[in-house]
Structure 1
């Protein structure tokens, strides 16, 4: 069996991490695997992982992708030994993957990575998504709430066509914290995610603006189209000395090691991969109370919930963490024990089983 994954970009969020780690996990199992990115290789001179293919497009929606993608798929199935399974990620991975593989008779799996019911927002979207979903053999949701939200009843998808496979996370349980973060009486905040509206970093900035007496610094790690707006917001609140936009970083562990609390300010999430990564370090987590996160993190004693979209409630949650730290509460054990349930190995095993079933049912 040879797995061919298709995803538009190399980095940017949880979906890209999942796809790359799934590819590595399959190779570690001595399972043949390829992964095709629409973008150029971001590493340039650095050696890549075996089986990586880069189409070289700057725009992940470029019409030329379909033909280029089909050429690469055909080259793989011609030169490599099958049978093959196609695994698509994200909306444009679905669209171009289905078009590029037409007529090749390869069982196809599509993982939907968020809970935004975009299928109903635009004219003709219902027909478009219905058409493409019918071309896919198996649909994967990354949480129970995501399964309900992402595949609404009007799509008429049989329940036996949908599989729930929770995301695996990179676990940083061996991280060594820097002394300045652990000894600081104030909070040293870290937040990780793309700079887009749904991540709610505007609310985080507003919330920190009302808690500067207990927050020493805050670092937001990620990149995206909202950078300029967030920079303007930071400037308006005169918080350049407190809040840093660090951009996209390969070494996330470095930023966790310099913090004593993590924050997820999302307006909605399907799973919250970053939440598990943060907890795996032993940090406490301030989290917006949205269905995807609530479903995954329920029962973790190290999570401090607040009402999503409310800077005031976020500030109060930070104050509760500050008070708990002053009282000597150690979050390390509960955070790490909870995160240990979501390692990459379990996710890779479940996808391997799904690939096997897809071949049998095809």
Structure 2
């Protein structure tokens, strides 16, 4: 089957990581293209058999937003036709909008994929209106959580599926040995969604009783300066470190005594999946749209705390710091997440769903042709 995955870019991000992991496995038995809106190099390893193209050619696109989007729509149609694609799978709102706008022109099934809290992604009037108008036209949809799925029109829900993110192969190992490192690790983009301000304030409370611990935050983003000022104001310059991006985040995770996510909202956080797969004791805010709660589905697999609650997050850190036996047990139980997120099982679910959507649409097309007295055969 010829499959195109379409998204904004292959730069850092959860959707990008999922696409890379999936494509590297699907390319054994399928012809794959990753198509992006923006011309940026991929930060993830991609099998050399995967075709990678961008709608933004080397020539400069118009700076006018309407002209730019019309040009991207034209190029999307062209790339789908030249690749002779059987199905188009789009990630995130703008690629999904474009895919559905050209659906009649390309004549193939479109699957849309939601990756974040839809209440945040579609909170503007324009985005929500486009979603309500266009999304029911899709032949299928992949959601990360049941809570996420319930946000969308019933017509779309009925032809959708919930599939967890796959963990990368490198995290399926027994490399982690619980260290009394006194290191608390967090990973994520430095932006408002991740709410590292909450984590820093909770750590300030926590460190009054446990002054020998440090907090290391890996990631980069627009809130770096704000967070640096908060660290200084909290007198934590020798205990809280903004470490930026690193190439081998797994190596850093293996040093963690425990791992924390403090987000206000998430889809299904890959960083939490990776920490759990390694067997690291984890803490996460119980944020919408339910990803952390679906991952930490058993109270003995980690600790969930209310969103934006400094005291609750501080107490959760104290639980692990004061009871290492509890931390070890929760970390060991966290590895059970592999039954839900192993690459083999997740890829198998994707393959079955893609085939189901394609076969159903092909059957509908053939039925229409048969009713018109046209011989049933291959679409192309």
Task: Give the TM-score category using the shorter length.
Answer: 0.7 to 0.9
Q: CA deviation at 1:231?
A: 2.1
User: 1:1-362 maps to which residues of 2 (within 5 A)?
Assistant: 1-27=1-27, 29-42=28-41, 49=48, 50-55=50-55, 64=68, 67-68=71-72, 70-71=74-75, 74-75=78-79, 77-78=81-82, 80=83, 82=84, 84-99=86-101, 102-118=104-120, 121-148=123-150, 150-151=151-152, 155-170=153-168, 172-174=171-173, 176-177=175-176, 182-184=179-181, 187-212=182-207, 213-214=210-211, 216-290=213-287, 291-299=290-298, 301-325=300-324, 329-362=328-361
Distance in 2 (alpha carbons) for counterparts of 1:61 and 1:318: 49
Q: CA deviation at 1:53?
A: 2.0
Aligned residue for 2:106, secondary structure, equals: coil
Q: CA deviation at 1:332?
A: 4.4
Q: CA deviation at 1:159?
A: 3.6
TM-score, length-normalised on structure 2?
Answer: 0.82
Say if 1:229 and 1:350 are closer, same or farther in 2 by CA, change over 3 A. same
- Asked whether the equivalents of residues 12 and 194 of structure 1 are also in contact (C-alpha less than 8 Å), the reply is no
Say if 1:70 and 1:235 are closer, same or farther in 2 by CA, change over 3 A. farther
Deviations 1:160-181, CA, capped at 9 Å, x for gaps: 2222112212251436458xx8
- Asked whether the equivalents of residues 20 and 46 of structure 2 are also in contact (C-alpha less than 8 Å), the reply is no
Say if 1:162 and 1:328 are closer, same or farther in 2 by CA, change over 3 A. closer
- Asked whether the equivalents of residues 189 and 215 of structure 1 are also in contact (C-alpha less than 8 Å), the reply is no
Distance in 2 (alpha carbons) for counterparts of 1:96 and 1:127: 14
- Asked whether the equivalents of residues 304 and 321 of structure 1 are also in contact (C-alpha less than 8 Å), the reply is no
Aligned residue for 2:323, secondary structure, equals: helix
* Contiguous gaps of at least 5 residues in structure 1: none
Larger Rg: 2
- Asked whether the equivalents of residues 302 and 335 of structure 1 are also in contact (C-alpha less than 8 Å), the reply is yes
Distance in 2 (alpha carbons) for counterparts of 1:183 and 1:72: 52
Which stretches of structure 1, 4 residues or more, deviate above 6 A after TM superposition? 57-61
Of structures 1 and 2, the one with the larger relative CO (CA 8 A, separation 6+) is: 1
Aligned residue for 1:302, secondary structure, equals: coil
- Asked whether the equivalents of residues 34 and 52 of structure 1 are also in contact (C-alpha less than 8 Å), the reply is yes
Say if 1:197 and 1:123 are closer, same or farther in 2 by CA, change over 3 A. same
- Asked whether the equivalents of residues 280 and 340 of structure 1 are also in contact (C-alpha less than 8 Å), the reply is no
Aligned residue for 1:117, secondary structure, equals: helix
Aligned residue for 2:213, secondary structure, equals: strand
RMSD of aligned alpha carbons? 3.0
